[in-house]
Amino acid sequence: MTQRILVTGATGTVGRHVTALLAESGAEVRALARRPAALPPAVEGVPADLSAPGSLRAAVEGVEAVFLVWPFASAEGLETVLAAVAGHARRVVYLSSAAVRDHERQAEELIERSGMEWTFLRPHAFAANALRWAERIRAGQAVREPYGRAAMALVHERDIAAVAVRALTRDGHAGAVHELTGPHSLTQTEQAHVLGEVIGHSVRWEEASPDEARRGMLARGWPAAAVDGVLRAQAAMTAGPARVTTTVEEVTGRAARTFRSWVSEHADAFRPAARLSDLG
Ligand SMILES: NC(=O)c1ccc[n+]([C@@H]2O[C@H](COP(=O)([O-])OP(=O)(O)OC[C@H]3O[C@@H](n4cnc5c(N)ncnc54)[C@H](OP(=O)(O)O)[C@@H]3O)[C@@H](O)[C@H]2O)c1
């Protein structure tokens, strides 16, 4: 029987893969975002705002399962959204985080009490975070950041999505907490090295002080608490290799994708735009 599934954050880094993989599997997909765009054929885009629960009515009507991205730094408002969802869906898969920050744990607790069957995905840092270096690398500049020795097992967003699709469409994941990583621990300087190897010119790492990084993030409008949280987390990651889990392979039956494979798929984002003279 065709399953009708609502994907929130459907145009985001993970949600767009969840949407595409569900559509490929033949599920009936409703894609929710404030501005749903560039969706695969046969996917129904539903414009709605998670901070305005009244706008969700049409989106939740008749759905059996929901992929939940909560794109806010607080769990405020989630309980009302869950009540609207639980009136229809029996299953929710929530994109949490391995860091399980306070608001993420609060969100998990609200979901546990929602009456729906739940699965939590707790991914480590996304491979797509490397895109924050793309502008400097395209311009031939060094990556200038603190904590080059910080180690992460970056996870490919499509692997997170593949796990989400299993949990949304198959039994056996109720009450499961899936901690998701890529297959290897890589320091930030090693990540820069892989980027350079794949795009064909070396990417230099310049170690910035945490203070310099803090000033930069504040100037870009980050809230001070978020800046301090990121820098604290990165400092902690210099202690040794990152934890690697085998959950992606256990759930999907396919080995977790490497950071190198993610870079190969996104290499153009890191290469200087081709000059007309290169094309002839
Ligand atoms: N980056 C990491 O390393 C990492 C690691 C672990 C966990 N996470 C978690 O991943 C989550 C973010 O997932 P992501 O990176 O896939 O998302 P994303 O790329 O930031 O995209 C956010 C999505 O949510 C939609 N959205 C934003 N505000 C909305 C609103 N008010 N109402 C309805 N839709 C809204 C956006 O579309 P519109 O703008 O059109 O509405 C978009 O589809 C966060 O909870 C984060 O904590 C991230």
8 Å CB contact between 33 and 10:
yes
Q: Check whether residue 118 and residue 57 sit in a common domain.
A: yes
Cα(197)–Cα(190) distance, rounded to whole angstroms? 11
Regarding the beta carbon of 31 and ligand 1, being less than 6 Å apart is answered no
239 located within any domain: yes
Look up the CATH number of the domain holding residue 216: 3.40.50.720
Whether the predicted pLDDT of 279 surpasses 60: no
Q: Check whether residue 111 and residue 151 sit in a common domain.
A: no
172 located within any domain: no
Q: Check whether residue 140 and residue 94 sit in a common domain.
A: no
∠86-91-95 over CA atoms, to 5°?
A: 100
Whether the predicted pLDDT of 230 surpasses 60: yes
Instruction: Report which secondary-structure segment, H or E, holds 83.
Output: helix 78-86
Q: Check whether residue 221 and residue 96 sit in a common domain.
A: no
255-264 confidence digits (pLDDT tens): 999 999 999 9
Q: Check whether residue 194 and residue 136 sit in a common domain.
A: yes
Cα(46)–Cα(29) distance, rounded to whole angstroms? 10
Regarding the beta carbon of 11 and ligand 1, being less than 6 Å apart is answered yes
Q: Check whether residue 111 and residue 61 sit in a common domain.
A: yes
Q: Check whether residue 100 and residue 234 sit in a common domain.
A: no
Q: Check whether residue 8 and residue 114 sit in a common domain.
A: yes
Whether the predicted pLDDT of 107 surpasses 70: yes
pLDDT of residue 1: 63
When pLDDT is cut at 50, 70 and 90, the band that residue 2 belongs to is: low
Q: Check whether residue 134 and residue 237 sit in a common domain.
A: yes
Whether the predicted pLDDT of 85 surpasses 80: yes
Regarding the beta carbon of 15 and ligand 1, being less than 6 Å apart is answered yes
Q: Check whether residue 97 and residue 197 sit in a common domain.
A: no
174 located within any domain: no
* Residue whose pair of structure tokens reads 């989400």 in the numeric block: 164
How many structural domains is the chain composed of?
Answer: 2
Cα(155)–Cα(256) distance, rounded to whole angstroms? 8
Model pTM score:
0.96
Regarding the beta carbon of 33 and ligand 1, being less than 6 Å apart is answered yes
36-76 confidence digits (pLDDT tens): 999 999 999 999 999 999 999 999 999 999 999 999 999 99
Cα(125)–Cα(13) distance, rounded to whole angstroms? 12
Q: Check whether residue 15 and residue 113 sit in a common domain.
A: yes
pLDDT of residue 100: 96
Cα 200 to ligand 1 centre (Å): 31
Its domain, for residue 235, covers: 128-155+182-243+257-271
Whether the predicted pLDDT of 99 surpasses 80: yes
Whether the predicted pLDDT of 280 surpasses 50: no
- The tokens of 20 are what? 């595409």
Q: In one letter, which amino acid is 174?
A: A
120-154 confidence digits (pLDDT tens): 999 999 999 999 999 999 999 999 999 999 999 99
